[in-house]
Amino acid sequence: MDFRFTEEEEAFRKEVRDFIQEVLQEVLPSDWQGVDPGPEEEAREEVYQLAVEIWRKLAAKGWIGLGWPKEYGGQEDLAKDWILKEELIYRGVPGMDMAVVQGDLILQFGTEEQKRRFIPPIAHGEVKYAIGMSEPNVGSELFALQLRAVEEADCFVLNGQKTWTTGFQHADWCVLYARTDPNAPKKSLGISVFLIDPKSPGITMRQITQMTGLAPFYEVFYDNVRVPKENLLGEKNGGRAIAMYAFGIERSYGLVVLHNARRYFEQLVQYCKETYTNGQPLAKDPVIRNRLAEMAIEIEVGRNLGDRLNWMTSQEILTVLPSCQIKVHGANVAQRVASLGMQILGPYGQLDEKSKWAKLGGRMKHTYLSSVALSMAGGTSEISRNIIAGRFGLGLPS
């Protein structure tokens, strides 16, 4: 067993680190503390603008969709794709985008015409995507969704509501799951997936604010929205396979979460080395040392799970089990790092980023609050545990 990256991959990692250094000097503010990856923090307009700028720089380097086939602008190199993501996330550089994930779906299920139409704008860093799965009464049980799509001569007509649609305000496209056959023998067999233009007539949205104070989500209302037939992704009523594929990708997001938590953890370790109580560095306190060491082990376990998941993906081995494992573990680690951080910082941990007394840029408060959502977003940890307990893992009867 060889856990090392190749020389070429290590050289690419160095190139990415140099790129990040350049971005830190030229684009990001000098007191940059890092942000969480993805669209949540992009609800702050200043972060969104930075993300767009960096996303375009990544596109100029040809680094968007590195794992994609060469004919669609990729390099067919999954290892490089992961190295790039890992480094950007770990350094808290904004710009990682959901468009790539939705591009994966289009490459997997789209027609040739759709691939030619939708993939290049993603690779060129020109478009943003949102995901329209959840509804007010539909989350874990996606196949119970009710938003209706009725076929007419030249289009499908959509009526219904979605919720928790993250980043809808910036999206150029939304991958939307809708019911096309209400009489199908099984609920999962009556669903289709569409590529929707969020600016279409009949779409309205209402912002939802999180406990972090950010407002990344939208309730989205579809009132007689007409979608051209060529925007149907995959077969009509064939949405189940697309959803199952998308769930796998979303669960592997646990690894993204883990690398983000790693940054907070290392900042915390540094804080313990530099902070003195009663003339002693915090780092000499045996309780703190033990808790930090315990956390370091959990992070390392997560990195190994992640490397295995990436390797299995590159070998096209079924990844249901490792993606569920990393989903649960990544969220657990992020929540534990945040909780440990709040304990170590004591009353300073609760202070806002704007407070002059805030430690570590006030980011521990943010991650403590935002990490709560990590065991829900992209499918809950409970559902992943159920899958691990069932036929893909322990084989327990459901």
Ligand X SMILES: Cc1cc2nc3c(=O)[nH]c(=O)nc-3n(C[C@H](O)[C@H](O)[C@H](O)COP(=O)(O)OP(=O)(O)OC[C@H]3O[C@@H](n4cnc5c(N)ncnc54)[C@H](O)[C@@H]3O)c2cc1C
Residues that bind ligand X (CB under 6 A): 130-134, 139-140, 164-166, 373, 376-377, 379-380, 382-383, 386
The SS3 call for residue 210 is coil
For ligand X, which is the closer residue by CB, 74 or 254? 254
* 96 close to 66: Cβ distance less than 8 angstroms: no
For ligand X, which is the closer residue by CB, 231 or 310? 231
Q: At CB < 8 A and 24+ separation, what contacts does 55-62 make?
A: 55/95, 55/97, 55/125, 56/125, 57/19, 57/23, 57/27, 57/95, 58/84, 58/95, 58/125, 59/123, 59/124, 59/125, 59/126, 60/125, 61/19, 62/123
What is the DSSP-derived secondary structure letter of residue 3? -
CB of residue 164 to ligand X, shortest distance in Å: 4
CB of residue 19 to ligand X, shortest distance in Å: 28
CB of residue 319 to ligand X, shortest distance in Å: 19
CB of residue 390 to ligand X, shortest distance in Å: 11
For ligand X, which is the closer residue by CB, 47 or 358? 47
- What tokens were used for 10? 């290590």
- What tokens were used for 389? 């307990």
Q: How many residues does the chain have?
A: 398
CB of residue 232 to ligand X, shortest distance in Å: 19
For ligand X, which is the closer residue by CB, 209 or 355? 209
CB of residue 217 to ligand X, shortest distance in Å: 6
For ligand X, which is the closer residue by CB, 40 or 81? 40
CB of residue 323 to ligand X, shortest distance in Å: 15
Of 323, 131, 143, 362, residue with least CA distance to 241: 143
- Angle at 160 (CA atoms; ends 100, 144), nearest 5 degrees: 75
CB of residue 212 to ligand X, shortest distance in Å: 10
What is the DSSP-derived secondary structure letter of residue 314? H
For ligand X, which is the closer residue by CB, 287 or 394? 394
HSE (side-chain half, CA atoms, 13 Å) at 64: 28
For ligand X, which is the closer residue by CB, 20 or 127? 127
CB of residue 113 to ligand X, shortest distance in Å: 26
For ligand X, which is the closer residue by CB, 115 or 259? 259
Residue 283, Cβ density class (10 Å: 0-12 exposed, 13-18 middle, ≥19 buried):
middle
CB of residue 167 to ligand X, shortest distance in Å: 7
Give me the residue whose beta carbon is nearest to ligand X. 139
What's the rounded Cα separation, in Å, for the pair 285 and 269?
Answer: 12
For ligand X, which is the closer residue by CB, 28 or 377? 377
Pair type for strands 173-179 and 191-196: antiparallel
What's the rounded Cα separation, in Å, for the pair 161 and 135?
Answer: 6
For ligand X, which is the closer residue by CB, 88 or 175? 175
Q: How far is CA 114 from CA 103, 111, 121, 239, 247, in A?
A: 10, 5, 12, 16, 22
CA 1 vs. chain centroid, Å, equals 30
